[in-house]
């Protein structure tokens, strides 16, 4: 029997939505009326119409909403709410324009929850993988204060900055990865396609070859003979690394290492400090309780080292101590930042101080990204030149040596 999606209005005035199974639409309507509700809408579930074969043929993997989808939704919702459109109508209108099917279904479900009497923040909390704790708590705070439209603008601004920062960090890593890929590809090409053409020249004269030539001949033979083992070995090593860093101990090790690698540590440090303080400042400004603010800040910090730091702060504040009390002995934040946080606590302007400090580190992060990119570029080019030059030298040295011997003979 087919499924029918329905919306009914109870005698109490509350809206209820769901799915009912019945032989016909008339039978479904009769069942719903028997429950004492007034049927608002009743449509056959499109998914139930498909046969098993059709479902298999039409199967596709639908990705969940991306950060940009959430940002666009938040911006649109803020404009509609400030224009006086009800949240139910706004959600319905945005859902119809949403291309991502999963996100469209989520928005429809949220709309039905609101019609059923739930608050917007309560409906959002059903999707923690889509809407993070900061988003949900800022919405909840706005519902209590009555500043829903302006709070959505703040959330959108926060998300926009975080997306931009993430994009900048990824962009800084792309160029070195391209150079590294080109270096490895060039080396493999020279060893597997170019060098074998010279093997015949060196045949029978192996004892006369210099050490660099012997080494690259051995490397070339190994790659050409055991290429499948090397591919499986490298693939296994990458999988093992990713698996290990997804475990609790592996994640802690990798997060700590990122803060020690000479070129990367300053970039990571600026990123985590900026993200943490920006998050905390937004939550304090929104009126979220301090313990909830610190807990959310730790979750969104993006590094287990900083997450542990904020957990220590959470426990200290829970005991009645100030935020700066625990941070004073912390190695994760510079002493100047701790002093400014302490000053903000004393003056009652903590949110403003946090926003100022996070803004400074945002600018610092951009400067570090430019510096790291400028530093990595010549290093990678020199390294690539050294590898290619070494292979060329190893090939040409014995050629020159054999030519000299031939002339002397």
Q: Tokens 């609101």: give the residue.
A: 114
Q: Is residue 147 part of a domain?
A: no
Q: Tokens 């910090």: give the residue.
A: 301
**Total count of residues recorded for the chain:** 409
Query: Which residues are bridge partners to 20 per DSSP?
Result: 4
- C-alpha separations of 211 from 186, 198, 388 in Å: 22, 16, 17
Q: Please compute, for residue 369, the number of CA atoms within 13 A of its CA located in the half-sphere on the CB side.
A: 20
Is the predicted pLDDT of residue 13 greater than 70, yes or no?
no
Q: Is residue 264 part of a domain?
A: no
**pLDDT tens digit sequence for 306-363:** 999 999 999 999 998 888 888 888 888 888 889 999 998 888 888 889 888 988 888 8
Model confidence at 402, pLDDT cuts 50, 70, 90, reads low
Question: Residue 58's pLDDT is what?
Answer: 43
- Quick one: tokens of 405? 């011997």
Is the predicted pLDDT of residue 383 greater than 70, yes or no?
yes
Comparing CA positions, the residue from 68, 69, 58 lying closest to residue 106 is 69
For residues 274 and 276, give the distance between their C-alpha atoms in angstroms, rounded to a whole number.
6
Torsion sign over Cα 71, 74, 76, 79: negative
**pLDDT tens digit sequence for 272-317:** 998 889 888 888 888 888 998 999 998 888 899 999 999 999 999 9
Q: Is residue 180 part of a domain?
A: no
DSSP secondary structure of 83-98: TT--HHHHHHHHHHH-
Cβ pair 72, 159 in contact under 8 A: no
Q: Is residue 13 part of a domain?
A: yes
- C-alpha separations of 400 from 58, 199, 305, 393, 403 in Å: 65, 15, 57, 10, 5
Q: Is residue 19 part of a domain?
A: yes
For residues 68 and 156, give the distance between their C-alpha atoms in angstroms, rounded to a whole number.
10
For residues 33 and 25, give the distance between their C-alpha atoms in angstroms, rounded to a whole number.
12
Torsion, CA 296, CA 297, CA 298, CA 299, rounded to 10? 50
Three-class SS state of 164: helix
Task: For the sheet with 38-44, list strands across it.
Answer: 15-21, 3-9, 38-44
38-44/3-9 β-pairing? antiparallel
The stretch 154-166 carries a mean pLDDT of: 87
For residues 398 and 336, give the distance between their C-alpha atoms in angstroms, rounded to a whole number.
61
15-21/3-9 β-pairing? antiparallel
Highest-scoring range by mean pLDDT, 9-13, 37-41, 346-350: 346-350
Domain limits for position 36: 3-57
Higher pLDDT, 99 or 28: 99
CA 78, chain centre distance (Å): 24
Tell me, what DSSP letter sits at residue 13? Answer: S
Q: Is residue 9 part of a domain?
A: yes
**pLDDT tens digit sequence for 196-226:** 877 777 676 667 778 888 888 888 888 888 8
Query: Which residues are bridge partners to 8 per DSSP?
Result: 16, 39
Percent of all residues in the chain with a pLDDT value above 70, rounded to a whole number: 83
- Quick one: tokens of 322? 């100030």
Q: Is residue 22 part of a domain?
A: yes
- H or E segment at 361? helix 350-408
Burial category of 254 from C-beta neighbours within 10 Å (exposed 0-12, middle 13-18, buried 19 and up): middle
Q: How many domains does the chain have?
A: 1
Q: Is residue 23 part of a domain?
A: yes
């Amino acid at each position: 029997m087919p499924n029918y999606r329905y919306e009914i209005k109870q005698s109490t005035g509350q809206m209820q939505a769901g799915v009912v199974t019945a032989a016909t639409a008339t039978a479904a309507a009769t069942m719903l009326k028997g429950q004492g509700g007034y049927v608002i809408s009743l449509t056959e579930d499109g998914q139930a119409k498909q046969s098993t074969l059709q479902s298999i043929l039409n199967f596709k993997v639908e990705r969940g909403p991306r950060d940009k989808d959430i940002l666009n939704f938040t911006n649109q919702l803020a404009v509609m709410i400030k224009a006086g459109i009800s949240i139910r109508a706004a959600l319905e209108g945005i859902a119809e324009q949403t291309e991502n099917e999963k996100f469209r279904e989520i928005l429809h479900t949220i709309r039905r929850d609101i019609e059923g009497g739930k608050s917007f923040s309560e409906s959002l909390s059903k999707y923690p993988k889509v809407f993070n704790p900061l988003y949900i708590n800022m919405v909840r705070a706005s519902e209590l204060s009555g500043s829903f439209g302006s709070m959505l603008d703040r959330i959108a601004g926060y998300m926009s900055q975080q997306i931009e920062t993430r994009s900048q960090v990824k962009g800084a890593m792309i160029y070195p990865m391209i150079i590294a890929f080109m270096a490895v590809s060039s080396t493999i090409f020279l060893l597997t396609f170019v060098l074998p053409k010279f093997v015949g020249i060196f045949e029978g004269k192996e004892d006369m070859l210099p050490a660099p030539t012997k080494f690259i001949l051995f490397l070339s033979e190994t790659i050409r003979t055991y290429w499948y083992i090397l591919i499986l070995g490298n693939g296994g090593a990458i999988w093992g690394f990713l698996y290990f860093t997804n475990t609790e101990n592996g994640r802690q090790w990798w997060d700590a290492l990122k803060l020690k690698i000479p070129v990367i540590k300053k970039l990571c440090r600026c990123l985590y400090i900026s993200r943490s303080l920006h998050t905390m400042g937004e939550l304090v400004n929104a009126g979220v309780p301090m313990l909830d603010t610190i807990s959310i800040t730790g979750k969104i910090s993006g590094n287990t080292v900083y997450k542990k730091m904020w957990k220590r702060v959470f426990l200290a504040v829970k005991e009645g101590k100030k935020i700066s009390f625990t941070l004073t002995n912390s190695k994760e934040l510079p002493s100047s930042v701790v002093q400014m946080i302490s000053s903000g606590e004393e003056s009652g302007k903590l949110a403003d101080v946090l926003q100022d400090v996070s803004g400074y580190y945002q600018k610092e992060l951009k400067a570090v990204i430019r510096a790291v990119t400028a530093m990595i570029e010549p290093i990678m080019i020199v390294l690539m030149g050294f590898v290619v030059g070494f292979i060329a030298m190893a090939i040409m040295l014995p050629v020159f040596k054999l030519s000299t011997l031939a002339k002397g003979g």
